[in-house]
Amino acid sequence: MSTKLRRHKNEPAKTARSKRPPLLDDESWRVARKGERLYQTKLKAVLEQKHTGMFAAIEVDSGDYFLGTDLTEAFEQASAKHREKKFFFVRIGYRAAFKLRSPRSL
C-alpha cells in the first residue's frame, strides 16, 4: 500500500509550509510580517543595548513602540495611544517571547 497522499484532480497540491499560518487573518499576517521587518531593521540594534528582557509592543503603521517589563504593561501603554490597532510583540534580546513546555518535559 502506498503512503503517498492522494488528491483529486481539482484539489491543489499540499505544500509542506504555507506562506500564511492558517490561524491568522490577512491583517494579522500583515502586522506580523511588517512588525518583524521593522524590529529587525530599525529597532533591534537600538533596543537590545539597554532593554534586553523587556517586552515591546510595536504599532507597525506609525513605527511607535512601547516598552514594558511584561506583555501586559507594553500592551496597556500601546493601546492607550493607538486604540483599535493590532500590535506586534517581541521580547527584546530573545528568539521568542514565551516558552511553552509540556507536562512531560518538566
Other CB atoms within 10 A of residue 92 CB = 21
User: Positive or negative CA dihedral for 76, 82, 83, 85?
Assistant: negative
Strands 65-68 and 55-58: antiparallel
- The backbone region for 53, taken as left when phi is positive above 0, alpha when psi lies in -120 to 50, beta otherwise, is left
- Taking alpha carbons only, the member of 100, 101, 62, 104 closest to residue 81 is 62
49 located within any domain: yes
Lowest mean pLDDT among 50-59, 60-69, 78-87, 94-103: 94-103
78 located within any domain: yes
pLDDT score, position 106 = 57
What average pLDDT does the structure give for the chain? 85
Owning domain of residue 52: 26-105
83 located within any domain: yes
Cell of 93: 534580546
The pTM of the full predicted model, rounded to 2 decimals, is 0.74
70 located within any domain: yes
90 located within any domain: yes
- Count of structural domains within the chain: 1
3 located within any domain: no
